[in-house]
Amino acid sequence: MTACLLGVGALPAAAVPTASEVTADRAVLDAALARYDAAQAEASALDAQVAGMSAQLDGLVIEQQQQQARLQARVAAMYRSTDADTLSLLLTASDFQELVERIDLLERMARQANDNLKALKKAREATQASASELLELQAQQAESLAVLEQEVAVARQELAASQTALAEYEAQMAAKAKAARAAAEAASRVNQQLAGSGEWGTAVASHYGWNFTGRGASGEAIGPYTMMCAHKTLPFGTLVEFEYNGKRAVANVADRGPYTAGRDFDLGPGVARVLGFTGVHEVRYRIISQ
């Protein structure tokens, strides 16, 4: 009978992200961010290295300019050492010893010029190598950061998608579960009517202290575990079933009250204990017998 009235099957399973999968996506994003942060730190270190290499490059350029200037000065000295040309310099030697000395001077000047040329070539090569290395490092830095930025962006998108899908799925399941509960309650009411039981209603209830001791208006003794309740009009001895937060308890009417406006029942100490009830809340109830 109940199954026919409900007409509701088990909630279908759906291929959606689970909470653990969302957690895994979040871990992927955290790992990508950690790698990106590490790359940023490496980039900062590389920036310092680039700055040092740039300063070194400046020094090499200056050295190259200095070597160029030395070479130019040396060449000029070779041809301005006297008013005459090199051949005249040799022919005007007064004796053989002076001729030897002038030849030696010209050889030394030539060797110095050759050394200047070698130094200039070396400075140029060092400058080019430093500049090439600098370009390569900067290109690697830019490529690495671009790849990591893309990885972080993809991880963010995947996490957002899985979180949204999970939230939508949970909302759908909650709506279906609510509809199933409503249908079950309707079927339960029909079954109760067919069986002659009382119908469920709602009421606002408060409660006695859990350790209350005393005596009700009916004369019944009330202790911390007494399963009783108070009502303004129901006959003493009436059995009432209460439901709160999925728990149920049966109580008998043994006292009058509550007399605070807006409240219908006062749950006895034992009932409050069984239901885990504290404060003032709406409960479901039904009259079992009078």
Whether 178 is in a domain gets the answer yes
- Domain span at 68: 16-189
Q: Which residues, including other chains, have CB under 8 Å from residue 63's CB and lie 6 or more apart?
A: 123
Residue count of the chain, please give it.
Answer: 290
How does pLDDT run across 91-137, given as a tens digit for each residue? 666 777 776 776 777 777 777 767 777 776 776 677 667 767 766 77
Q: How many other C-beta atoms are found inside a 10 Å radius of the C-beta of residue 211?
A: 10
* 288 has a pLDDT exceeding 80: yes
Confidence bin at 81 (pLDDT 50/70/90): low
Residues 159 and 272 in one domain: no
Listed residue (215, 184, 200) closest to 248, CA to CA? 200
Instruction: List C-alpha distances in Å: 164 to 32, 88, 174, 260, 276.
Output: 21, 96, 15, 46, 35
Whether 97 is in a domain gets the answer yes
How does pLDDT run across 160-205, given as a tens digit for each residue? 887 887 787 778 888 888 887 876 665 555 444 433 357 899 999 9
Whether 1 is in a domain gets the answer no
Whether 2 is in a domain gets the answer no
Pairing of strands 281-289, 239-244: antiparallel
- How much is the pLDDT for 112? 72
Whether 236 is in a domain gets the answer yes
- How much is the pLDDT for 15? 55
Residues 91 and 31 in one domain: yes
Q: Which residues, including other chains, have CB under 8 Å from residue 159's CB and lie 6 or more apart?
A: 22, 25, 26, 28, 29
How far is the C-alpha of 265 from the C-alpha of 281, rounded, in Å? 10
DSSP single-letter state for residue 243: E
Residues 132 and 58 in one domain: yes
* 247 has a pLDDT exceeding 90: yes
Percent of the chain with pLDDT over 70: 70
How many domains does the chain contain in total?
2
Q: Are 69 and 63 in contact (CB under 8 A)?
A: no
- How much is the pLDDT for 13? 44
Whether 53 is in a domain gets the answer yes
- How much is the pLDDT for 254? 97
- How much is the pLDDT for 127? 67
Last residue of a domain, one of 189, 214, 236: 189
The domain spanning residue 215 has which CATH number? Answer: 2.40.40.10
Whether 144 is in a domain gets the answer yes
Whether 5 is in a domain gets the answer no
